Amino acid sequence: MEQLKHKILTEGRLLDGFVLKVDNFLNHQLDVELLDAMGAEFARRFAGVKIDKILTIEASGIAVAAMAARHFGYPPVVFAKKTQSLNLDADAFETEVYSFTKQQVYKVRVSRRYLKPGERVLIIDDFLAHGHATRGLIDIVKQAGAEPAGVGIVIEKGFQGGGKLIRDAGVRLESLAVLKSIADGKIEFA
């Protein structure tokens, strides 16, 4: 998606060679017009795919998923929770996610109320790095007896291997921008 790549090149900032900061439009401040265009692009790429629900993970995935829903005929958007909550835990699908950035395992949960057998679920997230979070969401969809209809990612770090994990799980992946490399202070797209 050219508009997104342009935004990354002009406003993204590189940290320690492995992290792309996009706080000014995606992870802290939100560019709603760009988010809306991303939603339209996801809808174009997944045209003809039946989607009953969109699933994402808090926090940064929520804005992307909610804006995308506008372009898929307003399916419900469910976000997986990272924090514990007494009410939720009793009746939730749960999976463990290893965070490479934080070097720790955390739990992700979705209430059984909001994912039902047979539902076709589009998974949306802001970043795909090593793919552990996304793979966790696929696991939750499968626990529910629902079907992963696809994965839509805003920025895929192609050099961190997450894309392979998703494809190996047999799920279609569409990333709006794929980074080939961000080494030596230079951003290269695939």
- Comparing C-alpha atoms, which of 81, 72, 93, 79 is closest to residue 146? 93
- Specify the stretch interacting with Na ion by CB under 5 A; choose among 53-61, 84-92, 134-142, 179-187: 53-61
Contact between 116 and ligand G4P per CB under 6 A: no
Contact between 131 and Na ion per CB under 5 A: no
Across the strands, what pairs with 95? 108
Contact between 39 and ligand G4P per CB under 6 A: no
Q: Give how far Cα 81 sits from Cα of 60, 85, 110, 116, 130, Å.
A: 12, 9, 7, 17, 19
- Binding partner of residue 21 among Na ion, ligand G4P, none, CB under 5 to 8 Å per kind? ligand G4P
Between 57 and 146, name the residue whose CB sits nearer to ligand G4P: 57
- 96's tokens: 């463990």
Write the DSSP assignment of 120-143 as a string of letters.
EEEEEEEEESSSHHHHHHHHHHHH
Residue 37 annotated as binding site: no
Widest CA span of the chain, in angstroms? 48
Between 99 and 143, name the residue whose CB sits nearer to ligand G4P: 99
Q: Supply the minimum distance, in Å, between the C-beta of residue 2 and Na ion.
A: 23
- Binding partner of residue 35 among ligand G4P, Na ion, none, CB under 5 to 8 Å per kind? none
Q: Give how far Cα 43 sits from Cα of 26, 112, 166, 178, Å.
A: 19, 27, 19, 18
Contact between 60 and Na ion per CB under 5 A: yes
Residues belonging to the binding site for 5-phospho-alpha-D-ribose 1-diphosphate are 129-133
Residues making contact with ligand G4P (CB under 6 A): 19-22, 27, 57, 59-61, 99-101, 126-133, 157, 162
